Chains A and B, each alone.
Chain A
Amino acid sequence: EVQLVESGGGLIQPGGSLRLSCAASGFTVISNYMSWVRQAPGKGLEWVSIIYSGGSTYYADSVEGRFTISRDNSENSLYLQMNSLRDEDTAVYYCAKDTPLAEVPTGRGSYYYFYAMDVWGQGTAVTVSS
């Protein structure tokens, strides 16, 4: 069964650091695109970061320079290192498997891939407060 389980959340003071983990089973993390998405209390979903199978990483402007996404093949896990935490980082953090569910030939020997987050963890809550 394909599954994601997050851990590492908790209460942290502003300016502090926290590392979230996302343990995967049923598939290999390094072979897939993986995203972190967060949801502040009573708010909508906010994409935070993505790591591509090739290792490229991208971040939302709100966390650029403070958060780092990474992965470990031996642990088959995804991580989010969060530094310089702010009150506005308070949220439930989800990891998600970003899967190419459709492909369309480009006509030039390659494909356009359509990605969607089809597997999600249960989320881990981060509270930034003094």
Chain B
Amino acid sequence: DIQMTQSPSSLSASVGDRVTITCRASQSIYTYLNWYQQKPGKAPKLLIYAASSLQSGVPSRFSGSGSGTDFTLTISSLQSEDFATYFCQQSFTTRTFGQGTKLEIK
């Protein structure tokens, strides 16, 4: 089974900061990598698919990059509504999620 490892597990940042979250796969998943945002008590929301494609309606401050085993999610200028937990997920073989990165206000 493919394992997904995110870092950091938690992150404190301020509005306006540039933030990067990383996700590593235990084997190559090419660009079969998605990113989700989840707020407390809510279902996850798709942000990025196929490693770097922005889902419709998602602000352009969100971007994704990477291929093979190493991927990043970048938020170029944090807004107050971005404080949430972020998950990566592979779709190369069945499905696996990373453990999540909680983004908190500094």
Point out residues on A near B: beta carbons under 8 Å: 35, 37, 44-47, 50, 58, 60-61, 94, 98, 101-102, 114-118, 120-123
Contact = CB atoms under 8 A, between A and B. Distances in A.
A45 B46 contact: no
B50 A47 contact: no
B34 interface: yes
29 contacts: A37-B44, A37-B95, A37-B97, A44-B97, A44-B99, A45-B38, A45-B44, A45-B87, A45-B100, A47-B89, A47-B96, A47-B97, A50-B95, A94-B43, A94-B44, A98-B91, A98-B95, A102-B49, A102-B50, A102-B53, A114-B31, A114-B91, A116-B50, A116-B89, A117-B36, A117-B89, A118-B55, A120-B44, A120-B45
B43 A122 contact: yes
Interface in B18-49: 31-32, 34, 36, 38, 43-46, 49
Contact of B43 (A35, A114, A123): A123
B1 interface: yes
Contacts, number: 68
Nearest to B48: A116
Nearest to A44: B100
Contact of B34 (A46, A117, A122): A117
B49 A101 contact: yes
Nearest to A48: B95
A60 B100 CA distance: 18
Nearest to A6: B43
